[in-house]
Structure 1
Amino acid sequence: MRHFLGAHLMRELEELLLADDGVFPNSRLPVLVYRGAVKPEDGAPALERLFERNGWPPKWRDTVFTFHHYHSNAHECLGVAEGNATLRLGGPSGAEVKVEAGDVVVIPAGVAHQRMLASTDFMVVGAYPPGEEQWDTLRGRPDDRPKADETIAKLPLPESDPVTGKTGALVDRWR
């Protein structure tokens, strides 16, 4: 599903619903992909300011793991600061999503993600809602599921959207 948003930049929003595949819990909440959330040339500092302003403190600059993984105790925001990549969301049979500098991907707890291909300069800024800074990294082992499912079910929804703040897609579609 695609939506267009008005603001200082024209932004396109894509939503992906990724169901439990038996290995990865994924989520009833959609993954949100904001195209052009910041100008590509403004990079990591612009993403960090955007996330901080909207209540998702930035925590790191790096890449995305090349193996399927998810977080049961944190929702995650990935802002593409440099380069481009193809991410797989939802596990081995999930969706491939191409991202480039300026894009932001908001991943609900439980949604598997991995980097498949990337340019050599690919870098993202990672951010989390307050209180979710000690995230776990689960790889889809069967013994992870019972506790992970319970943890995901208890995780509160964020109070704001990392791109649009107190209003916007996350606030509307995750409630």
Structure 2
Amino acid sequence: MLLDRRRFVTLLGVLALMPMPRMAFATAREVAMDTLLIDKPDGGVPNNKLPVLIYHRVIPPDTADNADYLEHLFRTNGWPPQWRYPVYTFTHFHSNTPEVLGVYAGTAKLQLGGEHGNVIEVKVGDVLLLPAGIGHKQISADEDFMLVGAYPPDVKADICHDELPQLAARTKAVNAVPLPATDPVTGHTEGSMLAWHKK
């Protein structure tokens, strides 16, 4: 059936008033953020001169599926999601890439920086952006604690352990990692676009 102009405009008005699924709002946006600088090595963990970024309340209220929301947000901002899993319970880091971790269920205590590093508590809606080389491990967690993990495009993350003899080589590798072109939470503005690119 062909619509005349009046019916078409009326239809558009009705559509504008209809509730949209929360997934439609998984776009880059400004959120509250803290920074944590862990720039000194700890044992065989090189860490990084760039700060860890911790975003809060990234998931909007009444989101139907938290994991889907985070995956859509990261993908939209150029960070293809790679996995859903908790954090390993041993200290590890990635020498070839930054990593984004989005909490979609439960709470946990994570240690950042190595065996003598900071312990922080994370909960649903928190997102951590770890520069390459930042040690991390799970200290404790709820049974339902889960994350979405993602990396910049075309990256296969290595897994490095706290091995002191490898520190020099891994520090060199970490320092050679390029800055990501976008921020996984805020896209082309704010977040790492300011905190990392202006270092």
Same fold (TM > 0.5): yes
For 1:131-152, what per-residue CA distance to the aligned partner results, in whole angstroms no more than 9, with x for missing partners? 32x1111111023222211211
Question: Taking structure 1 as reference, are residues 48 and 89 closer, same or farther at Cα in structure 2, changes over 3 Å only?
Answer: same
Give the equivalent residue in structure 2 for 1:136.
Answer: 158
Counting only pairs closer than 5 Å after superposition, residues 1-175 of structure 1 correspond to structure 2 as 11-23=31-43, 24-39=45-60, 41=63, 42-132=65-155, 134-175=156-197
1:22 deviation in Å?
4.1
Residue 11 of structure 1: how far off its partner (Å): 3.0
Structure with the larger strand share? 1
Unaligned runs of 5+ in 1: 1-6
> Greater Rg, structure 1 or structure 2?
2
Residues 21/149 of structure 1: CA separation in 2 closer, same or farther (3 Å cut): closer
For 2:108 and 2:115, the matched residues in 1 are separated by 17
Whether the 8 Å contact between 1:10 and 1:36 is mirrored in structure 2 is no
Q: Percent identity?
A: 42
Q: Retained in 1: the 8 A contact 2:28–2:73?
A: no
Deviations 1:111-147 (A, max 9, x none): 0001111000000000001132x11111110232222
Alpha carbon RMSD of aligned pairs, Å?
1.8
Report the Cα distance in structure 2 between the residues aligned to 1:14 and 1:106, rounded to whole angstroms: 11
Structure 2 counterpart SS, 1:29: coil
CA distance in 2, matches of 1:168, 1:156: 18
**Greater displacement, 32-41 / 150-159:** 32-41
